Each structure stands twice: as C-alpha cells, then as structure tokens.
Homo-oligomer: A and B are copies of this chain.
Amino acid sequence: MENLITVVVDAMGGDNAPHEIIKGAVEAVKEKQNLKVLLVGQKEVVEKELSAYDYPKERIEVIHASEVIETGEPPVAAIKGKKDSSIVVGMKLVRKGEADAFVSAGSSGAILVGGTTIVGRIKGIERAPLAPMIPTKNGASLLIDCGANVDARSSHLVQFARMGSIYMEHVVGVKNPRVGIVNIGVEEEKGNALVKETYPLLKECKDINFIGSIEAREIPSGVADVIVTEAFVGNVILKLYEGVGATLISKVKEGMMTTLRSKIGALLVKPALKSTLKSFDSSQYGGAPLLGLRGLVVKCHGSSKANEVKNSIIQCISFKEQDISEKIRENITVAVKKTEEEQ
C-alpha cells in the first residue's frame, strides 16, 4: 500500500506490558488503514499475545528483541548496555528510516536518552524537549519541557516555543497557537534569571504568537496553547496536576459517602460526573512527544492502558503526514541563519 505510515511500538515497556500495549496496537491498525505497526519485544511472548486477536496480518510485524530495560535502571547505562532491548532495537529502526515513529510506555529516562543518542536531534536543535498535553477547562495545552534535562538556557526555551507552536498547529490543529512562558507574575520585569532572559527573546520571535507570562494559576483554565518552561518546573506542573486532581477526586468521593442522603445523591450524580471528569483525564490525549528528533518518539504513561497506546500510535500519523520533523528543521534553520546574519 502507498503512503503506509510505520510506527514501532515497544511491546515490553510499561506497567501493563505486553497485554495492553499489544491490544492498543491491534486497535490502532484496525482503526487506521494507512498504518503499519512493528511490535518490538520478546518474539515468543508477543506472538502468543497477538494470537488472541483477529487483525490485518500484513500491517503488524513482530521484531525480536531479547532484552527488556526496567523502569529503575540508570538510563545511560541501560541504553549503552542493552543493545538488544526493545527500546534500542526499536529506536534504531527509526534512525535507519525503516520506521517513522517510536512509541513506548517504558522507562522515561531510557526513552529520553535513547531519543537523543540513537534517533538523534535535528541539526540546529540544542535539546529535545518532552511535551505532554495537559487537560484544561475546555481542551488541552502542550506543556514543554517536562523531560529530564534540567537547568535549561534561554536559547533552549526559544526553540521549545517554536517546536511546540508547530506541533500544536499541525498535529493538534490549533490555529495560531498562543504561546506563554510560566512565570510568578504577569509583569515583564518579574521572574527568575532564566525567564527574564528568555522573555525578550520570545517577544522578538515573529513566527510565534507569544502572549507573555502566565501564572501557574491560569494554566488549568486554558489561557495558552503552548506552555513554555524549563524541565524542572514543567515536571513539577505535570505531576502536581495529577496529584491535586487525584486528591480532590478522592475528597469528592469521600464527601459523597458521608451521609445516607449524600450516598443516594451520589448514585444519581455518578454517570454524568464520570463523563465530565473524563475530559480532564490526561490519558485521553495520548502520549507525550519528544520533539526535535530526526523521527518521532512518543512516551506514554507507565500505567497506560490500550486506549492511550492506541491514541499515541494514531497521533504519529498526523505527525508524519504533516511532516513535522521537516517543518521543525526548516524553521530552526531559518532562525539560526537569521541569528548568524544579525551577528
């Protein structure tokens, strides 16, 4: 088939591997006709799981990888040492151009290290940010960067803003996405050294729709489509989102169970409440892309179920169809050239 998009899926990564991963892959190829999945993992295990499903055989292929990288392993040592792991074998397929994207629910650290060292950065990109979608009141925003490379420089943040903008516009479909930088106040003179240095640089970028500083309080109400921050703060935002959400939902449940009256009310409220809160569930948005690489790498939650895996695989299709890596390369090349001319 022409224009078949090939996605490598790490069958061994994540708390629910291989069962939910393989289920998600099967659902994805059934839903999208132009998709081919390469399932990387221990052949015997993967094939046994697969045999339970009815699926288009020519669009799922199993690639053997004898080793598995565990979540707790030091990432650099794992990537260097386990050459026959599903992550290393899978990423090499992307590197060689035999696949367009790599999806894994495995070790974040190993995926970040592998992304940079195996798949490799686009020329001119200084750092590859991890950019999950976080739910907001009426939609979702891209939070960039939540990776493991902390202590960023202002030039990194400017590239994050550009890449995030391209991703939101062409993959998610938000026209002229609003880009904000996380700060502790909205005034231009506020912030730490990094934010103060980055703010004027973002203001000068004519190719993005920079709306200025945003306070963390405003993030959940959806004031910006692309939320730029360095990875330490991004990581805190991402995890606190989950933590406050989980605690509040458990408080709501606890509140509903305190009296007989409230228990009856809870039964009536439950179905409607469930569907509203689903829109605030980050697994709806698939995995987080690692941007700025020569191919797409997507990191799913470690706890991913089939639905998130399926969504993550499907998002790779738009990424490839819209040729995002090429758009990022062009954009960065132009920006680098412009800076050189100015100097």
* Chain B CB within 8 A of A246 CB: yes
* Chain B CB within 8 A of A215 CB: yes
Contact (A262, B273) CB under 8 Å given A150-B191, A192-B232, A235-B216? yes
* Chain B CB within 8 A of A52 CB: no
Taking a contact as CB atoms under 8 Å apart, the answer to whether B272 and A256 are in contact is: yes
Among A259, A269, A274, the most chain B Cβ lie within 10 Å of the Cβ of A269
Contact (A272, B243) CB under 8 Å given A192-B232, A280-B248, A280-B251? no
Give A278 Cβ to nearest chain B Cβ, in Å. 10
* Chain B CB within 8 A of A151 CB: yes
Taking a contact as CB atoms under 8 Å apart, the answer to whether B269 and A256 are in contact is: yes
* Cβ contacts A208-251/B at 8 Å (1 or 0 each): 00000001111111000000000111011111111111111111
* Chain B CB within 8 A of A148 CB: yes
Q: Which of A234-289 contact B (CB under 8 A)?
A: 235-252, 254-256, 258-259, 261-262, 264-277, 279-280
The answer for the CA separation of A246 and B222 in the assembled complex, in Å, is 13
Determine the chain B residues whose CB is within 8 A of the CB of A238 once the complex forms: 216
* Cβ contacts A287-321/B at 8 Å (1 or 0 each): 00000000000000000000000000000000000
Q: How many copies does the complex hold?
A: 2
| Chain B residue at minimum C-beta to C-beta distance from A223 | B243
Partner of A192, one of B151, B193, B219, B243: B151
Determine the chain B residues whose CB is within 8 A of the CB of A242 once the complex forms: 217
* Chain B CB within 8 A of A137 CB: yes
The answer for the CA separation of A219 and B217 in the assembled complex, in Å, is 17
* Chain B CB within 8 A of A182 CB: yes
Taking a contact as CB atoms under 8 Å apart, the answer to whether A276 and B254 are in contact is: yes
Determine the chain B residues whose CB is within 8 A of the CB of A255 once the complex forms: 269, 272-277
Determine the chain B residues whose CB is within 8 A of the CB of A159 once the complex forms: none
* Chain B CB within 8 A of A174 CB: no
* Chain B CB within 8 A of A201 CB: no
* Cβ contacts A190-202/B at 8 Å (1 or 0 each): 0111010000000
Taking a contact as CB atoms under 8 Å apart, the answer to whether B216 and A236 are in contact is: yes
Determine the chain B residues whose CB is within 8 A of the CB of A4 once the complex forms: none
Taking a contact as CB atoms under 8 Å apart, the answer to whether A248 and B249 are in contact is: yes
12 A-B contacts (beta carbon < 8 Å): A151-B192, A216-B237, A220-B247, A237-B240, A244-B244, A251-B277, A255-B272, A258-B272, A261-B268, A262-B269, A265-B265, A265-B266
Other than A219-B243, A220-B248, give 15 A-B pairs with Cβ distance below 8 A. A150-B184, A191-B232, A195-B232, A216-B239, A216-B240, A218-B243, A221-B247, A236-B237, A240-B244, A241-B244, A255-B276, A256-B269, A258-B272, A258-B276, A261-B271
- Which residues of A does B touch, CB under 8 Å? 136-137, 148, 150-151, 182, 184, 191-193, 195, 215-221, 231-233, 235-252, 254-256, 258-259, 261-262, 264-277, 279-280
